[in-house]
Structure 1
Amino acid sequence: MILVVLGAEIGTRIGTHLREREQSQLALQTSTIGHPPIPSQPIIPSATDRDNSNFITTVVAKVGTAVVKVEADRPVSQNPLVEKFLGNLANEDRVEKGTGSGFILSADGKIVTNSHVVDGTDRVKVTLKSGQVLEGKVVGIDRVTDIAVLQVNAQNLPTVKLGDSDRLVQGEWTIAIGNPLGLDNTVTVGIISATGRTSTQVGIPDKRVNFIQTDAAINPGNSGGPLLNASGEVIGINTAIRANAQGLGFAIPILTATRITNQLFATGKVLHPYLGVQMIPLTAELKAGIAKEPSLRSKVTAQRGALVMKVIPHSPAETGGIRPGDVIIKIANRSIDSPNDVQQHVEASKIGRSLKLEVSREGRVRSLEIELGISPTITESAEK
């Protein structure tokens, strides 16, 4: 009973304050990131006087033909009151048209894009740079990472080369190719502004991705297109923009995307490991607030970690003994600083495997082993 009351007290006394603080920090971070300075002497291929070519034109010539336009038609649900009065006429021409980008992974027609580009349909129209239009089948989608894979019936198609998103350096060049605002095969250039941006920082907390941040212009229609390095290798999938981000875009790292696309092509779906908790970071500011509350001071004694606000009923976390008010301080003997650390450990684990945790509970450290389950639905994907 004490722990249940503790969870409620934490939620009512601290939750609202923390959400407001995180929102204000995100707004400040978004407005102050700006554009990191471009190195004064970037190491790039030199331009030639003969044809004005440079590393960007070289990349575009090499990769541009493997970037496609993806168009999806989705039926739109009609308001029941409208249907009542208009009858069958209410359903006529009620189709939502979506446009995005994608790129070709294999010469026999395997294509990757964003799940939100094709969600709600199983057939799409794929247009090559040459103007050739192909019918594409949606092989599988993963809403948790916003990745989808398509198949078109074709051979000898141009393909991209994949890079290593784990070796990105802040400040290195990036090139985005896509179809922003319906303008086919548009090229924009920028740099890597940052790596490891959490889904919460990006503004889409229901995703399980640590994003690449770039200032290469990414607009509606760029979704699903490639983010490239100066060598023309795909390092990410352009996926998210923020209306108030002042030109900042975000991309799914290609190593994350490859892991997901391999599963989608093999089985048509992705099963994500599931723990079943809702958490907030135990920051110095939060600790200071807890210290002022006599009823909480002796309950939350850890100095850092992920504070468990809620345990999902019948989840692996509940079965394994995690309780509201616990602070997750270690997983697999590695220190935990934030909920994102927990998310990454869970996502890197396997369903059915035991995850070793250390939690701080009322001044004592307890060791737990949690057997991870299968993430039940996309609506619960934020509950790690």
Structure 2
Amino acid sequence: MNTYALLETPQQIYYGRGSFKKMGDLVKDKGTKVLLISDKTMEQLGYIEKSVQQLDERGLTYAIYLGVDSEPNDDYVREALAVYKKNHCDVIVSIGGGSCIDTAKAVAVLATNGGDISDYMNNHKNVINKPTAHVAIPTTAGTGSEATDVTVITNVANKEKMMIKQFGFLPDAAIVDPLLTLSAPKRVTAATGVDALSHAIEAYISKLSHPMTDMLALSAIKLIANNLLTVYEQGNNIEAREKLSLGSLQAGMAFGNASVCLVHGLSRPIGALFHVPHGFSNAMLLPAVLEFSKDACIDRLADVGRMFTNKTLSNEEAADFAVSFIKQLCAKLHIPNLKEWGIDEETFERNIPKMAEDAIRSGSPANNPRVPTIEEIKKLYTTCFHYQFE
């Protein structure tokens, strides 16, 4: 058994109000021809114009790819890579949600290492050459992708979400400016916030956790739990948004090193087959998966529960309180279950065997304190379809 651990983070992280203004200088230090990867929503919100202004002020040339239109898939990666090559780019900036950042991570690796992104699934192909420099700028407090070496890309051909983790996918720099999250709608704020909470909790209960990730995960849990509902109800509360953004960043750093567990293993197949955004699918699953896992991680869940109350509780009581608190939070955030989302039950049941197999294949369930059998995963899918948060 190893007595050491590893903590990987971007080389540079700027965070806090106004940190977006550092983008131009960061990029100028890394290249001269920028590929800006984002989506139409970011363009409509004015973030592309503001990014281009910074590049223009520093005399940098650029190309723009705004084709990310949903959860990231390998078609977006191929399209963005073609723009990169056509314009002879040498640095990448991603701005937007996790979909934009994950797409950019894949392009940064493929630009210098070649192949198709599916080649890197399960480390069949390794990142050998230094990837193109990548500056990641999130506009949601959620995925934490700006601080991880993980990219999740849907394979359009076989409808599988590929979870790919190698050091080469880690962005060189991250800019986490809570002012950019002010534009996030309530629904997106809720889903990405619970996504970040699931990152932090799963990092803390993961079999791969270690003291450094524990420190980040516990801090993230406290920041997110204490501020998510406030941000949901008061979208312009910048103090709460700043704390939520910091919590999301810390959660990303935690799970990027300790990995995620069963929630994410179950979530990805739902997203691939039914196009449920990642944040929502994680939120739909988190309470039920914690109930399933509780007996195998009572002490750790008790630590989480005690962050939500000042009452003196036994470990069993505190673990139960943690699950109860998260269920109530999801209810207050109006998180739907799978049925309420509008998924056809018969179609869902028919796809459970494939989803269970894909979940196991992702590797994430093996990190869970209670490692499920494939039959237990199938039962969990059925439970989550009708799950009631209240």
- TM class by shorter chain equals under 0.3
TM-score normalised by structure 2 residue count = 0.24
Q: Hey, which of these two has a bigger chunk of helix by percent?
A: 2
TM-score normalised by structure 1 residue count = 0.24
Q: Hey, which of these two has a bigger chunk of strand by percent?
A: 1
